[in-house]
């Protein structure tokens, strides 16, 4: 989420810098040696970074950001809802692990080693508390 905020902040700063640094059309030199005031209308002489354009871009960026944020919070029907959770893992050395996994409210203790996963026990009772 912070990356999106940084991106939006940089985008707004670049738009503001572009609007503030807009050159006077009579001072712009175009290829072929002409200026905006010395002939027919030069391409791009109309500007394009007016206040209305900046406000429109900011509104579109804000709407897109809101939709992204809103989409993460909502659980749409086609979305994946995860029911399998790895609660804790402990290494036993030489690529062997004990894993406590939860699935639909049931906790399982699994033994994991290369090429094999074994169900050691179901953890239905109260869990032991850590001793200080």
Q: What angle do CA 14, 31, 42 make, to 5 degrees?
A: 75
Token pair listed for 117: 């996963």
Domains of the chain, residue spans: 2-73, 84-122
Q: Is pTM beyond 0.75 here?
A: no
> CB within 8 A of 4, min separation 6: which ones?
65, 68
Res 88 pLDDT > 80? yes
Output 78 or 83, whichever has higher pLDDT.
83
Backbone phi, psi, residue 9, to 5°: -65, -45
Res 29 pLDDT > 50? yes
CA dihedral 57, 60, 63, 68 (to 10 degrees): -100
Output 131 or 5, whichever has higher pLDDT.
5
SS (H, E, C) the chain: CHHHHHHHHHHHHHHHHHHHCCCCHHHCEECCCEECCCCCCCCCCCCCCCHHHHHHHHHHHHHHHHHHHHHHHCCCCCCCCCCEEEEEEEEEECCEEEEEEEECCEEEEEEEECCEEEEEEECCCCCCCCCC
Q: What is the mean pLDDT of the chain?
A: 76
Q: What is the pLDDT of residues 30-47, one digit of tens each?
A: 777 655 555 555 555 555
């Amino acid at each position: 989420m912070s990356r999106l905020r940084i991106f939006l902040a940089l985008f707004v700063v670049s738009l503001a810098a572009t609007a503030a640094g807009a050159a006077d059309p009579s001072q712009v030199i175009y290829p072929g040696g002409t200026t905006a005031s010395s002939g027919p209308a030069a391409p791009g002489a109309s500007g394009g970074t007016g206040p209305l354009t900046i406000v429109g871009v900011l509104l579109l960026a804000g709407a897109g950001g809101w939709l992204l944020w809103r989409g993460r919070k909502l659980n749409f029907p086609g979305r994946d809802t995860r029911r399998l959770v790895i609660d804790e893992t402990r290494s036993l050395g030489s690529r062997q692990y004990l894993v406590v996994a939860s699935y639909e409210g049931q906790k399982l203790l699994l033994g994991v080693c290369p090429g094999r996963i074994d169900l050691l026990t179901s953890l239905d009772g109260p869990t032991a508390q850590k001793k200080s």
